Chains A and B, each alone.
Chain A
Amino acid sequence: MQPLAMNGDQAIAYAWKQINPDVVAAYPITPQTIIVEAFSEYVADGLVDTEFVCAESEHSAMSLCIGAAAGGARTCTATASAGLAFMWEMLYIAASMRLPIVMAVANRALSGPINIHCDHSDTMGARDSGWIQIFGENAQEAYDNSIMAFRISEHLDLRLPVMTNIDGFITSHSLENLNLLQDEEVKKFIGEFKPIKPLLDYKNPVTYGPFDPPDFYFEHKYQQVEAMSRAMPIIKKIAEEYAKISGRSYEIVESYQVEDADFVAIAAGSTAGTLRSVVDELRAEGKKVGSLKLRVFRPFPDEEIVEALEGKKGVAVLDRSISFGATGPIFPEVRSALYDVDERPKIVNYIYGLGGRDVSIEELKSVYYKMMTGECDRVNYLGVRI
């Protein structure tokens, strides 16, 4: 198939068109709107036979998805920022009911002050909701992750909802060339949806969402722990299968020039791409530096982080969100992963890009230079006028 020019949102909608889900329930919010807008056109044009529900809010959109998935339907939705925040209660319910729902999020800052541009505050806030979270760097990954997400979510050993994240505007609205699979290839890869104990199987009645008293609740939470602990090898295996049909392979964390590097910076989302350019420029200056792209954030890839970073001199964790009174959310997890290794690197945190603040090559170079000279604090702020 010829490469097509699409933005990240359109790429996700196109993947959904090829998947042809049973139900999409959504509410528009920038910078995700193009996804459901483009998909609603596919519905109107009869290119899919999806039941498309325009909900009156995101809380209702996720509730509808929960009902549809519990009923036995292949279900997906999209949101961002305040929309995701409005789904909060239902995110936990989707995960705890072990429903295979796929949700695309075009990462956007949370108000206030009101801002529509990219940062990761929305999905980082949903960190503990029990969803698998995968970050895409560009439109190609937005498309590829969307297809893999259905397989991961619907895997019979998992049945967990999956969030596929892309950077709002930077990826959601930027036009890129991307390679698409044929409809038939996608259909074959995704396979038939296999409902487990669906509500609509009236011959085998079940109850979803009953009250769970103290003598059972903890056991159900532990089931979620166990399911998440099974996720990493399954995500890897599905990526390997996907590589066979697409020619594009994806790791849990993706290393760039890390092997012989002394200093490494880590980022999720589009900044991971910028970091590779920075690494190229610094390597041309003879600096031993590398970068790491955090693709899967939940479950957190402790082992992969240790494997890549043990013995390095310095590591900078770039967080595009912040927990006020603490640090960025990725920083403590990377530090914790490396706490038990014998040769522990010095690890610092950079908060950057809040509310869509651009991050430049020069700024990212300064992150490496300061790691080398030690002129940085434990938590640093990149590109803010202090």
Chain B
Amino acid sequence: MGDPQKKSKDYPEGGVIDEAGSARKYKTGDWRSQKPEVDKEKCINCLWCWVYCPDNSVLVEEGKMVGFRYSHCKGCGICAAECPKKAITMKKEGN
């Protein structure tokens, strides 16, 4: 979502982007209407979710699944659908 404080006149004219690497600032996670949540009691760290995630939004540390990168997760639900242990559930978010 664009900064709600910024007005039309605050943006460079003509849709020009005048700073390099600005895509990093654009968090596409707010397109989401449902978010994945993991139950680590059931998770076996098979990393199937990491393999399937189309948006590189499953966080892995030292070979273990540790959660989601919600700044870019769009809530597609593929991780939940593919998890062999049903450890991931999708929760409704927002309106």
**Which A89-111 residues have C-beta < 8 A from chain B?**
96-99
Q: How far is the CA of A382 from the CA of B15 in the complex (A)?
A: 45
Alpha-carbon distance A226/B11, docked complex (angstroms): 13
Q: Which of B1, B13, B17 contacts A210 (CB 8 A)?
A: B17
- Kindly identify which residue among B2, B13, B20 contacts A216, using a CB–CB cutoff of 8 Å: B2
Chain B residue nearest in CB terms to A219: B8
Chain B stretch 2-18: residues in CB contact (< 8 A) with chain A: 2, 6-9, 11-18
Q: How many chain B residues touch the partner (CB < 8 A)?
A: 15
- CB of B11 within 8 A of CB of A159, answer no
Query: B-facing mask of A210-226, CB < 8 A → 1, else 0?
Result: 10100110011011001
| A219 and B7 form a contact (CB under 8 A) | yes
Contact among A159, A205, A215 for B13, CB-based, below 8 A: A159
- Given the complex, which residues of B lie within 8 Å of A336, measured CB to CB? none
Please, which residues of chain A bring their CB within 8 A of the CB of B7?
219
Contact of A208 with B by CB under 8 A: yes
**Which 10 A-B pairs have CB atoms at the shortest separation, nearest pair first?**
A98-B14, A207-B17, A219-B8, A222-B8, A215-B2, A97-B14, A206-B18, A98-B13, A220-B15, A215-B1
Please state if B14 and A204 are interface contacts (CB–CB under 8 Å).
Answer: no
Considering the chains assembled together, what is the distance between the CA atoms of A212 and B11 in angstroms?
A: 12
A197 within 8 A of B: yes
| CB < 8 Å neighbour of B12 from A96, A197, A215, A227 | A197
CB distance from B72 to the nearest CB of A (A): 14
Do B11 and A219 touch across chains, with their CB atoms under 8 A apart?
yes
Interface residues in chain A, defined as those with a beta carbon under 8 Å from any beta carbon in chain B: 96-99, 159, 196-197, 204-210, 212, 215-216, 219-220, 222-223, 226-227
Contact: B17 with A223, CB < 8 Å? no
State whether B2 touches A208 (Cβ < 8 A).
Answer: no
Chain A residues with Cβ below 8 Å from B15 are 96-97, 208-210, 212, 216, 220
Contacts of A209 in B (CB 8 A): 15
Once the chains are docked, how many angstroms separate the CA of A98 from the CA of B13? 7
Q: Name the CB-closest residue of A to B18.
A: A206
> What is the distance, in angstroms, from A192's C-beta to the closest C-beta of chain B?
20
Residues of A within 8 A of B17 (CB): 206-207, 210
Query: Which of A97, A215, A222 sits near B16, CB closer than 8 Å?
Result: A97
